[in-house]
Amino acid sequence: FGLEGAPCPAEDRGVAGVGARAADLASAMKAEEEDNPFRLPPDDQIFRIRDQERQRRAEERERVKTMKVWEKTTASSRVQKNRRVDDGTDEAQLAAEVAKQTRNQ
């Protein structure tokens, strides 16, 4: 409107950097999209991963087929891993201590 060289009222209010801030925000969002661990990979990569997992499972099955039974992980061998650790006290000692405490009360 014929005010060349005059400061823009929007610049006085600090709105002049909106375009620059929008560009910074857009570049930050693009960088975030690249670093986002929750974004889905492309379809070809998903199928490649599925094929690799299938291949790995097939190789594991073939390996287990050639193993002897005592080398395999079976349900009974997993039960043995969950066995309680003996801490030196047995059930009779614990029962005696509980009975002693109840008598003293």
Does some domain include residue 2?
no
> Using one digit for the tens of pLDDT, what is the confidence trace for 8-54?
554 455 555 566 677 777 777 776 667 788 888 899 999 999 999 99
Give the count of domains, the chain: 1
> Using one digit for the tens of pLDDT, what is the confidence trace for 53-79?
999 999 999 999 999 988 888 777 777
Range(s) of the domain holding residue 74:
14-81
Q: How many residues does the chain have?
A: 105
Does some domain include residue 57?
yes
Does some domain include residue 70?
yes
Q: Distance (Å, rounded) from C-alpha 49 to C-alpha 43?
A: 10
69 with 76: CB under 8 angstroms?
A: no
pLDDT at 62: 95
Does some domain include residue 72?
yes
Judge whether residue 1 has pLDDT over 70.
Answer: no
